[in-house]
Amino acid sequence: MPGGVVVPAGRWRATAATHAERADALTAVWRGAHERGEKHAVEDFLFTYYPTRAAHLRRWHPGPGLVLTGATEHAGWRWYREVVLPDGGAGAALDVEAFLADRGDTVRYVHALVGATAGRPGTFGCFGLHEWAMVYRDRAAGRDHRHPLPLRLGHDGTDAVVESHRIACSHFDAYRFFTPEATDRNQLRPTRERQPAMEQPGCLHATMDLYKWASKLGPAVPGDLLLDAFELARDVRYTDMAAAPYDVSSYGVEAVRIETPEGKAEYVRRQRAFAERGQALRARLLVVCDTLLAGAG
């Protein structure tokens, strides 16, 4: 085969159209709010913290090892190459060599981080207290209050929850947003440098970040994997905010009251389910990375 498995135009175009429809469905709530000029305290995170663009989610990529028949538009995209088919027709495929030349370090980092995380047992006793630590004793004027939502238990009640619980956040990109008063309450000291050594699959933010790593691999990630990662990140985000100290009832979200035994049990149940889905995505991301790095040889 000319550099991979040849996919007929009719088949891949149908797949691309289905992909775009799925992307539209996954972003419908956020796009609706955006078009109305409204903030969405739950879903905005997926489009601000992560550099998401709905148009990019709609664009389908086959990933490495497939040649798209008649894909003349793809041939003009970055990191694609034109392929001459056995019948003399034209096709396009991911240019693995060019991609690795530009993004090889990213591929190796993602492979190392995702692989290390996948190989660790999950920890399921944090109860989402990172969000509470981000507003602990946060009454000072001019501070970033994270979200324009009321606190479900008020300031005093929120502080009391933090002070009565053990905090053990392993995720640096959550820990770095703790208020100064909450920083020393964390029993762990995650850093950017130690991230590959500390990430664990039970962490909701590490699970959401699978979307980030899939995005960083760009057109090397098959479209279904990208949308699966985005969908998981969106699902996790709703639980992240449901378990947070904010009142999110205005978004139709029922609180997971982690200050109660029942709420803790519900949080752990969801956390374990997300971890299982995340581990499956990690395995798929590792296959992508292994396929790319094999092409370096």
Q: What is the DSSP string of 64-117?
A: TTEEEET-HHHHTSTTEEEEE-TTS-EEEEE-HHHHHHHHHHHHHHHHHHHHHH
Q: What local confidence, expressed as pLDDT, does residue 146 receive?
A: 67
Local structure of 251: helix, strand or coil = helix
Separation CA 293–CA 6 (nearest Å): 21
* Helices first, then strands: H and E counts in the chain: 14, 4
Residues 6+ apart with CB under 8 A from 145: 135, 138
CA angle 15, 110, 58 (to 5 degrees): 25
Separation CA 147–CA 160 (nearest Å): 20
Q: Which residues are 84's β-sheet partners?
A: 90
Indicate the length of the chain as a whole number.
Answer: 297
Local structure of 186: helix, strand or coil = strand
- Each of the 297 residues of the chain gets a pLDDT tens digit; together they read 456 899 999 999 999 999 999 999 999 999 999 999 999 999 999 999 998 899 999 999 999 999 999 998 898 899 999 999 888 788 999 999 999 999 999 999 999 999 999 999 999 999 999 999 999 998 764 444 567 789 999 999 999 999 999 999 999 999 999 999 999 999 999 999 999 999 999 999 999 999 999 999 999 999 999 999 999 999 999 999 999 999 999 999 999 999 999 999 999 999 999 999 999 999 999 999 999 999 765
Q: What local confidence, expressed as pLDDT, does residue 2 receive?
A: 54
Q: Is the CA virtual torsion 73, 288, 67, 61 positive or negative?
A: negative
Q: What local confidence, expressed as pLDDT, does residue 87 receive?
A: 82
Q: How many of the other CB atoms lie within 10 Å of CB of 164?
A: 8
C-beta separation of 161 from 245 below 8 A = yes
Taking the model in full, what pTM does it have? 0.94
Q: What local confidence, expressed as pLDDT, does residue 75 receive?
A: 85
Separation CA 106–CA 218 (nearest Å): 11
C-beta separation of 2 from 85 below 8 A = yes
Q: What local confidence, expressed as pLDDT, does residue 148 receive?
A: 77
Token pair belonging to 121: 């047992």
Separation CA 62–CA 161 (nearest Å): 47
Domain regions of the chain by residue span? 5-295
Q: What local confidence, expressed as pLDDT, does residue 142 receive?
A: 40
Q: What is the DSSP string of 136-153?
A: TT---TT---SSSS-BTT
DSSP state, residue 121: P
Separation CA 52–CA 45 (nearest Å): 10
